[in-house]
């Protein structure tokens, strides 16, 4: 439990300091996420080492800004919308039934 609290606290500091860590992780694969987190930890440690000995108040609340992708912004918004629709049970079932119906139509047309 103590280790979990330490990890959650560390992630909270990274999220406050680096906006990229605060955003959604669904758009990156596991390897990319690992590289992002490693880079953020390294940069955080470098900042802490650089500020060592200084009288600095470590208040990370409100630091950074939310990063929004500029390229394909509409495509990403559509992805999130579709993902949320798929998570909805009724929408999921309707999409599944529509897909099955389409597959049957194609099967009947080819046979």
Domains in the chain: boundaries:
1-53+76-109
pLDDT per residue as tens, the chain (111 positions): 887 887 777 777 777 777 776 666 667 788 888 888 888 888 888 887 877 776 656 555 555 555 555 566 677 788 888 877 777 888 778 888 999 999 999 888 876
pTM, two decimals, is 0.41
Could you tell me which of 24, 21, 25, 18 has the C-alpha nearest to residue 63? 18
d(CA 52, CA 56): 9
The pair of three-digit structure tokens given for residue 76, joined into one six-digit string: 């990403």
d(CA 60, CA 53): 18
d(CA 46, CA 39): 10
């Amino acid at each position: 439990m103590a280790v979990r609290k330490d990890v959650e606290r560390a992630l909270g500091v990274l999220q406050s300091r680096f906006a990229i860590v605060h955003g959604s992780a669904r758009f990156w694969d596991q390897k990319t996420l690992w590289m992002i987190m490693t880079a953020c930890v390294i940069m955080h440690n470098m900042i802490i080492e650089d500020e060592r000995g200084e009288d600095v108040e470590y208040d990370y609340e409100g630091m950074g800004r939310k990063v929004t992708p500029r390229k394909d912004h509409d495509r990403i918004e559509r992805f999130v919308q579709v993902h949320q629709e798929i998570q909805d049970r009724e929408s999921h079932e309707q999409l599944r039934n529509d897909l099955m119906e389409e597959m049957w139509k194609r099967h009947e047309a080819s046979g």
